[in-house]
Structure 1
């Protein structure tokens, strides 16, 4: 007697556009510039990283530059509770790698929200 196949279930549909949120932001000095890597997550548990090298060595200007870049992409919906840290190469001790820079977090979130509001205003 032939074995019956279990009924096929439809695979989880792939959404054409998935909304992402910024989870973590990592800073690394690259010569006279600061490289900013944003770790993004979506509601299905997806993860991706976007990197941008800011044309400055000032970390505050670098996170503002990265926030404008990320918010301008259009499919990143929020950056609330995003943690900003320096990468391990920049930390002098293991404890330094765990320290969050709250001033840079506020700077990133403010610029992100301002840029996101401007993008939404243009779309209206």
Structure 2
């Protein structure tokens, strides 16, 4: 029987990798909003972080998620992050493609403020 070549081990998510927020997905979960942030790094890695905000207001939910993500310490940027509702929340396929630019601005503003505060504390 022929031996198989050994498989290379998957590259673990390194704590030293710097991540950036690529997309933010919103979904209603009862009276709360669940926010899932899709993060990517320079090595092609993908990671999702989810948080359920203690509110039903989408603007407050994205601000809450931005504080959580920026506070992780190894997420460096959220520029050009797209905010969308998940497919379950969309009534048509076209709705799934629509970006919420007002929520994108809220997310980016809160992310940048929190990231600046984290960096000030590290100095």
User: Would you say same fold, with TM above 0.5?
Assistant: yes
Alpha carbons of 1:113 and 1:10: their partners in 2 closer, same or farther (altered >3 Å)?
A: same
- TM-score, normalization: structure 2? 0.89
How many matched pairs? 121
Closer, same or farther in 2 for the Cα pair 1:45/1:9, shift >3 Å? closer
TM-score (normalised: structure 1): 0.88
- How well do the aligned residues superpose, as a CA RMSD in angstroms? 3.0
Where structure 1 has 5 or more consecutive residues not aligned to the other structure, the ranges are none
Tell me the residue number matched to 2:22. Answer: 23
Change (3 A) 1:14 1:115: closer
Q: Per the alignment, do residues 122 and 96 of structure 1 end up closer, same or farther by CA in structure 2, a change over 3 Å counting?
A: same
Distance 2:9 2:33 in 1: 45
Structure 2: distance between partners of 1:120 and 1:55: 26
Displacement of 1:17 in angstroms is: 1.1
**Following TM superposition, by how much is the alpha carbon of 1:13 offset from its aligned partner in structure 2, in angstroms?**
9.9
Segments ≥4 residues shifted beyond 3 Å: 4-16
Unmatched 5+ stretches in structure 2: none
Q: How far does the alpha carbon of each residue in 1:31-52 deviate from its partner, in whole angstroms, 9 at most, with x for none?
A: 0000000000000000010000
When Rg is computed on C-alpha atoms for both structures, the one with the higher figure is 1
